[in-house]
Amino acid sequence: MNSTNQILKAEIHVHLEATITPDLCRNLANKNAVNLPNDIFGNKYAYEWANFYDFLKKYDLVTSVIHTPEDYFELTYKYLKDCAVNNVIYVEAMISSTHAKEKGMNYFSFLEGVYKASIQAEKDFGIVSRYIMNGIRHLGPESVYNTAKEVLDNPHPCLVGFGLAGDELHFPPTLFQKTFDMLYDANFPITVHAGEWDGPEQIRKAIKLLHPKRLGHGVRSIEDSQLVEEIIEKNITLETCPTSNVATKIYPDYVSHPVKKLFSKGVKITVSSDDPPFFNASIQGEYDIMKELGLSDQELISLTRNAIDSSFCDKDTKSKLLEKLN
């Protein structure tokens, strides 16, 4: 595979807690006295999982070793350092205050760990990062509402958007309309996981009810040409994650994945690694895949431009990042 290492990259769909490597997972488990089952570490992937719902369980188990703001600092700094090696200039990662609170941290302390690492990584490697707070579908509408309300009531310089993640099939957009109306009224940027596991009808509902500027995955929109046109017309960006979708068997292989077709139709797409060690993914690998699918270097740079242009960071930061691509 031809490496795309020289291409400047950006990643706007990655779950920060799920970037934890097996080595860091073991180290934090030892430090925080967490007993992990031996069979959690896999052969095919860094962590063993059987299907999406098993993946959600293993995700919670693996990330249960993150207990302190210092752990968040170490996790964040390591991930950003790895990104910088692969010529990533901007990251917008999703984070979870509900996870942090389960481990005894509060909203401010866990954010401070992330923020300090972000500042240090920018100083050390030149990589810029911002963060999106996620509400978790399968924790229910009240949990998502409370998470969003806390974000709106407590602005933080590293927090630039709000997302909805988790079990798409059993927790449809209608459950979360109140929360996302509140965010929309506050002019707070929104991204929503939709069109990964469920089809076009739920994507339509997500667009209508939840006011997203971006859709996490969104790839099953390809099943409805009118929906694809609506996405283009409304300038909604799709945060695609091809390796993730192939690993979870939504598509059997990269040739079958609709990312190239969506790109060719004029949909504004980006590529990202989602939950890297769970799928043996990396942002470098996603760009390599797109090159294998036939994108030129200029088209690869357009993916980076899409990510930065669609990012939720401030205009000055965005302008400086876009200048690097010229």
How much of the chain, in percent, has pLDDT values that exceed 70? 99
Average pLDDT over residues 8-35: 97
pLDDT of 38: 81
Is 200's pLDDT higher than 60? yes
CATH classification of the domain holding 169:
3.20.20.140
Is 231's pLDDT higher than 60? yes
* pTM over 0.85, yes/no: yes
Residue 10 phi, psi (nearest 5): -145, 150
Asked if residue 1 belongs to a domain, the reply is no
Asked if residue 2 belongs to a domain, the reply is no
pLDDT digits 0-9 by tens, 113-158: 999 999 999 999 999 999 999 999 999 999 999 999 999 999 999 9
Rounded CA separation 215/212 (Å): 7
Asked if residue 160 belongs to a domain, the reply is yes
Is 44's pLDDT higher than 90? no
**How many domains is the chain built from?**
1
Q: Compute CA 116 distance to the chain's CA centroid, rounded to the nearest angstrom.
A: 20
Q: Are residues 163 and 133 in contact, defined by beta-carbon separation less than 8 angstroms?
A: yes
Is 58's pLDDT higher than 60? yes
Report the chain's mean pLDDT, rounded to a whole number. Answer: 96
Q: What is the CA radius of gyration of the chain?
A: 18
Asked if residue 4 belongs to a domain, the reply is no
Identified catalytic residue from 196, 230, 286, 292: 196
Is 1's pLDDT higher than 60? no
Q: Are residues 121 and 127 in contact, defined by beta-carbon separation less than 8 angstroms?
A: yes
pLDDT of 2: 61
262 — pLDDT class (breaks 50, 70, 90): very high
Asked if residue 3 belongs to a domain, the reply is no
User: Does residue 196 carry a catalytic annotation?
Assistant: yes
pLDDT digits 0-9 by tens, 2-12: 689 999 999 99
Rounded CA separation 303/226 (Å): 23
Q: Are residues 163 and 94 in contact, defined by beta-carbon separation less than 8 angstroms?
A: yes
**Could you tell me the two tokens for 251?**
């598509």
pLDDT greater at residue 269 or residue 51: 269
87 — pLDDT class (breaks 50, 70, 90): very high
Can you give the residue range of the structural domain that contains 221?
A: 9-323
326 — pLDDT class (breaks 50, 70, 90): confident
pLDDT of 118: 98
Asked if residue 54 belongs to a domain, the reply is yes
